Amino acid sequence: MALSAIEVNQLKQAPAVEGVLPVVLGRWSPRAFAPREVSSADLKKLFEAARWAASSFNEQPWRFLAGRRGSSAYKKIFDSLVERNQAWAGSAPVLILGVAKSTFSHSGSPNRVALYDLGAAAALLCLQATALGLSAHQMAGFDPGAARAAFGIPENFIAGAVIALGYQGEPSTLPDEQFIAAEIAPRTRRPWNESFLSAWDEPLDLG
């Protein structure tokens, strides 16, 4: 199973559906990253996409701590990852930690959808990565407390996910067979009518 990065990328494409955004169907989350830097110009485009996400009261609750490999921020984020993610994520040239402000700035009251809005901004960042030929892999597997301590994140911000970013690499560079198997497995999702419902546990009927 010596699949190349290009073959894997083809394998990971969701089936084409006419009219559905190719960038949505083509986005997936590699663990193997190539030894290639991401330009500052491209990073700015990712950040531009993220900032235009929708948010409740236009709070834009998202903050992203980000760094290139070698920076203090990168090390702090990497050190917060669980061991199983550290095993591969160090090949990504950029790491980004997304956090969300859990209170509204205009009122101080709790923002119930802070993580929801952070997830939206991160999703746009990852889609924009795909559009630029980059790849992103989001991880919940890190220690939010360690990240909070390392960066001095205030109490009214909550950690979301870490994003590993870079160019997709060769699966053979991954540290073990389990990672390689995941890297070359097709993506799977439930059919849409198991998630879109007209009543609880009743699929929406669109004919």
Site for its own copies in 34-63 (CB under 8 A): 40, 42-45, 47-54, 56, 58, 60, 62-63
Residue 47 or 179: which CB sits closer to its own copies?
A: 47
Residue 4 or 71: which CB sits closer to its own copies?
A: 71
- Any contact of residue 165 with its own copies (CB under 8 A)? no
Phi first, then psi, for residue 48 (nearest 5°) are: -65, -45
Q: Interaction with its own copies in 66-105: which residues (CB under 8 A)?
A: 66-67, 71-73, 96
How many residues interact with its own copies (rule CB under 8 A)? 78
Taking CB under 8 A as the criterion, the residue among 3, 87, 123, 146 binding its own copies is 123
CB of 171 to its own copies, least distance (A): 18
What's the rounded Cα separation, in Å, for the pair 186 and 9? 10
165 touches 38 (CB < 8 A): yes
CB of 81 to its own copies, least distance (A): 14
Q: Interaction with its own copies in 170-199: which residues (CB under 8 A)?
A: 187-193, 195-199
What's the rounded Cα separation, in Å, for the pair 196 and 105? 33
Beta bridge partners of 101: 157
Burial class (CB in 10 A: 0-12, 13-18, 19+), 16: exposed
- Any contact of residue 107 with its own copies (CB under 8 A)? no
Residue 106 or 188: which CB sits closer to its own copies?
A: 188
CB of 106 to its own copies, least distance (A): 14
Residue 4 or 39: which CB sits closer to its own copies?
A: 39
Q: Where does 79-167 show beta strands of DSSP type E?
A: 94-101, 135-139, 157-166
CB of 27 to its own copies, least distance (A): 7
What's the rounded Cα separation, in Å, for the pair 60 and 71? 26
Phi first, then psi, for residue 128 (nearest 5°) are: -65, -35
135 touches 29 (CB < 8 A): yes
